[in-house]
Amino acid sequence: MLKPGTPAPDFALQNAQNQTFRLSDLRDKKSIVLYFYPKDDTRGCTAEACSFRDQYEVFQEQGAEVVGVSSDGTDSHQSFATKYQLPFVLLSDPQGQVRKLYDVPKTLGLIPGRATYVIDKKGMVRYAFNSQLKPLEHVQNAIKILQELAQQQ
């Protein structure tokens, strides 16, 4: 896991609409809640995505964009986003390159891990959370960190 205070590595991945998304395009504009998850439309990942969806307005009020990343393809992401009405960006990382860049650990050495980063407007990692078994904690923890960042400004 990247440590808080580390510059967030820039990357470019395809979103569900097959458009290129670059992390650096949001720099100086918004904070970013970047979350990595194992697989579209599985129980834990769906619960996590729907929790981010249900709190999306809170993230927007805090000046943040939510971005989800998994190895699933763009078609899978589009289906997942449509099925659960997900208003945020889902990115396809089929080779796991960005997952490696962010040093997201695997579960039991096999399954892609679950991690959430809060990145400030300047592109610095302010918070890193790794929990395989508690996907819903990622959402509340990220909101808390964004609120703390807002108070510091």
124 secondary structure, DSSP code: B
Tokens of 86: 């997900």
Other CB atoms closer than 10 Å to residue 23's CB: what's the count?
Answer: 19
Q: Are β-strands 64-70 and 31-36 bridged in parallel, bridged antiparallel, or unpaired?
A: parallel
Q: Is 45 a catalytic residue?
A: yes
Check 16, 23, 32, 45 and give the catalytic one: 45
Contact, 49 vs 16, CB < 8 A?
no
- Catalytic residue numbers, as ranges: 45
